Amino acid sequence: MTRQDQTPSSTTTWSRWKAEAVRPRLLILRHLPVAGVGLVTTLVVVNLLLGLLPIGFVVATSALVGEVPGAVAGGEGSDAWRELVRLFVLAAAAFVVQQVLAPVQLTLGEIARRRVDGHVHQRLIGISMRSTGIGPMEQQDSLDALKEASRRLDGSWETPGMACAGLIALVARYTSLVGYCVLVGAVVSWFAGAALLVTVLVFRYGNRGGLRKYSQAWSSVIAVFRRATYLRTLALSGSAAKELRVFGLTGWLGDRYADAHRQWLAPVWRARRRIYLLPYLAYTAIGLAVSVLVFVALARTGAAGSVTLAELAIGLQATMGALMLGGYYPESDDATQLGMLAAEGMEKLDERVARHDTVPSQRGTVDPASLDVPSVRFEGVRFHYPGSRRPVHDGLDLELEPGRCTALVGINGAGKTTLVKLLTRLYEPTSGTIRFGGVDLREMEVDRWRRQVSVVFQEFLRFELSAADNIALGAVHVPRDETAVRRAAERAGIRDVLESLPHGFETPLSRAYTGGVDLSGGQWQRVAIARAFYALEAGARLLVLDEPTSALDVRAEARFFEQFVERTRGATSLLISHRFSSVRHADRIIVLEHGRVLEQGTHDELEAAGGRYAELFHLQAERFTQDDVPDERAVTTARGAER
Ligand SMILES: Nc1ncnc2c1ncn2[C@@H]1O[C@H](COP(=O)(O)OP(=O)(O)OP(=O)(O)O)[C@@H](O)[C@H]1O
């Protein structure tokens, strides 16, 4: 057929077949070199032998059958008898070697799987850590792809490594198939051999194609499947147990789980019937017809006396053997299909991470450490999140003056955290410029710029490591300084607590480890602040604290802010809070609203102006003076006593 002859539908079918059947196999084959050329070659040779041995067995046992009349007539010791024994030994040897090689095939396949999967796991981590910006980790489609890829890799059955081992195992099966068909061709007719080969391949295609469609049906209900899994995890998790019982949600959860379970299972079972039942009947009918034809041809040649007893036995065994190969291959089919989906999932993740990462890592030649004045200016910055049309910042102009503490306040959702993401180049502004020391951040290499910034995020990290490690991880690019670790803890007001732990600063901050302890939320927050102070000592010149005291009570928070301004005097710092009353000691306060600066000035200036700051400051201050909140130290001591 020429290109012009191809109809659009045949082109579509062909390209779909290429995309669904050919491309995933090529993807899997690309992983093979990781398993090692030596191992893969050995595995292929073992599989070739495993494919040829059944052929040898059929030939030897058929020849043996052919020798029986002569051996019986000649009696023990005759030439025919000796030939019979020789053939018996050959058949037995073929059988025994096959039994010995089968576990070798499994073991080598397992080694290949582990090597490939080890590499794939590393690649998964590599892909998820690769993005310079945070976009891929906040976009739902790339998060979905990441979740799906790691879910598949977590099971040892659905991995690209399994697909590699499964694909190589096909060598044994198809070698046997070709061998059987050649035998049928030689003893019955080449037409019969070819017809048998085509029939078995068509049967296989139906079987494998069914598996492919079935796994697609599975993929289409993945969202409901995830919901069912989520509900099951919720029902079994210790952390949800209290609320589920107190709010009387146990029955509700059971019903929701049963619904979700039905919703994903019903379409899968419907698809299973559609995909397997009719094709199974059709292929079985074809298989039966072809085998009857081959057997009839064999019987006719037998009746005509033109085949020997041995040839008749070969024809029968080879036809049966070939037909048996038309079914499901347990060592290969599921593993190959699911492993290919896992490999495709990785590619999808790779593509989505690349698409959503808009921050270039290597551009820029200016070293920010060489800039004298650590001031930051936002000039006409506009930003909206990818996929959203609503600007979070809409022409934002503000300055963080060098060596001074600026506070940024605004109601929930005003865009304070987003500003930190732009400042740390986790996203690039849609338009406008951010300058440090007068130079556009885009002229700096991202890693160098980030060493200038020390941040405590709202959701800061709690490393399951020692207290000292938790602090020192603020600056891994400089040699570790234990005195600086303790100094940072002192500045964050957590040194005494850490020193009183069972192993002092070396105590693991997790109960999952022997001798480990859990800190309270407020204590953890101070450890995170100590980490930021440590980074500051290691050379960072900009300190950003995003809601650094949300886990502290009002008095502890007020004390923290009073001390903070004192302890960071001289550093350029940005304090973010939606509690207006907590930032009054800052050198300058900026009120953010609707993506722009609404007001700015000192506390006294803003108070006197009587605008939004003054209004919200008094509103919140009133509430807090009415509250009778216990001192944080008292809470901490009580927690310690409980322990
Ligand atoms: N990854 C994201 N994708 C899309 N929209 C987002 C994303 N993160 C935040 N937003 C939206 O951007 C707006 C500003 O969010 P941001 O977290 O910056 O506010 P905030 O002032 O820090 O709020 P809060 O005081 O509650 O921490 C909100 O409307 C929020 O829903």
ipTM (interface predicted TM): 0.97
Is it the case that residue 298 has pLDDT exceeding 70? yes
Is it the case that residue 273 has pLDDT exceeding 60? yes
Q: What confidence tier does 4 reach under pLDDT thresholds 50, 70, 90?
A: very low
Alpha carbon of 613 to ligand 1 centroid (Å): 21
Provide DSSP, 30-94.
Answer: HHGGGG-HHHHHHHHHHHHHHHHHHHHHHHHHHHHHHHHHHHHHH-TTSHHHHHHHHHHHHHHHH
- Which range in 8-17, 225-234, 360-369, 431-440 is most confidently predicted, on average pLDDT? 431-440
Q: What percent of the chain has pLDDT over 90?
A: 43
pLDDT at 633: 38
pLDDT at 612: 87
Q: What confidence tier does 527 reach under pLDDT thresholds 50, 70, 90?
A: very high
pLDDT at 641: 33
Nearest to 579 by CA among 394, 450, 410, 439: 410
pLDDT at 624: 56
The DSSP output letter for 356 is H
pLDDT at 394: 92
Query: Which atom in ligand 1 lies closest to the alpha carbon of residue 414?
Result: 21
Average of per-residue pLDDT across 191-202: 90
- Give the model confidence (pLDDT) of 163-180 as tens digits: 999 999 999 999 999 999
| 372: Cβ contacts below 8 Å, ≥ 6 apart | 437
Query: Which atom in ligand 1 lies closest to the alpha carbon of residue 578?
Result: 25
**AA identity, residue 447:** D
Sheet containing 376-383: which strands, arranged edge to edge? 393-400, 376-383, 431-436, 439-440
Kindly report the three-state secondary structure assignment for every residue of 263-304: HHHHHHHHHHHHHHHHHHHHHHHHHHHHHHHHHHHHHHHHHC
| 632: Cβ contacts below 8 Å, ≥ 6 apart | 522, 552, 553, 555, 556
Query: Which atom in ligand 1 lies closest to the alpha carbon of residue 458?
Result: 27
Question: Ligand 1 pocket, 323 CB below 6 A?
Answer: no
Closest residue CA from atom 24 of ligand 1 = 412
pLDDT at 1: 42
Contact 384, 550 (CB under 8 A): no
The DSSP output letter for 535 is H
- Cα separation, 180 vs 187, in Å, equals 11
Lowest mean pLDDT across 126-135, 269-278, 376-385? 269-278
Question: Ligand 1 pocket, 210 CB below 6 A?
Answer: no
Pairing of strands 405-409, 588-593: parallel
Alpha carbon of 401 to ligand 1 centroid (Å): 25
- Cα separation, 420 vs 428, in Å, equals 11
Query: Which atom in ligand 1 lies closest to the alpha carbon of residue 592?
Result: 21
- Give the model confidence (pLDDT) of 552-588 as tens digits: 677 777 777 777 777 777 789 999 987 777 788 889 9
Q: Interior CA angle at 389 toward 388 and 391, to 5°?
A: 100
Average of per-residue pLDDT across 499-511: 93
Alpha carbon of 207 to ligand 1 centroid (Å): 50
Q: What percent of the chain has pLDDT over 70?
A: 93
Quote the pTM value.
0.75
Domains of the chain and any CATH numbers: 15-356 (1.20.1560.10)
pLDDT at 170: 94
- Cα separation, 341 vs 254, in Å, equals 31
Choose the residue to mutate in 418, 545, 593, 598 for probing ligand 1, maximizing ligand atoms within 8 Å of C-beta.
Answer: 418
pLDDT at 632: 38
Average of per-residue pLDDT across 88-93: 94
Lowest mean pLDDT across 275-279, 325-329, 502-506, 611-615? 275-279
Is it the case that residue 638 has pLDDT exceeding 50? no
| End-to-end Cα distance, the chain | 80
Q: What confidence tier does 362 reach under pLDDT thresholds 50, 70, 90?
A: low
Average pLDDT, the chain: 86
- Per the model's pLDDT, the better-predicted residue between 247 and 108 turns out to be 108
> In angstroms, what CA-CA distances link 240 with 224, 225, 245, 247?
21, 20, 9, 11
Instruction: List residues bridging with 376 in a β-sheet.
Output: 400, 436
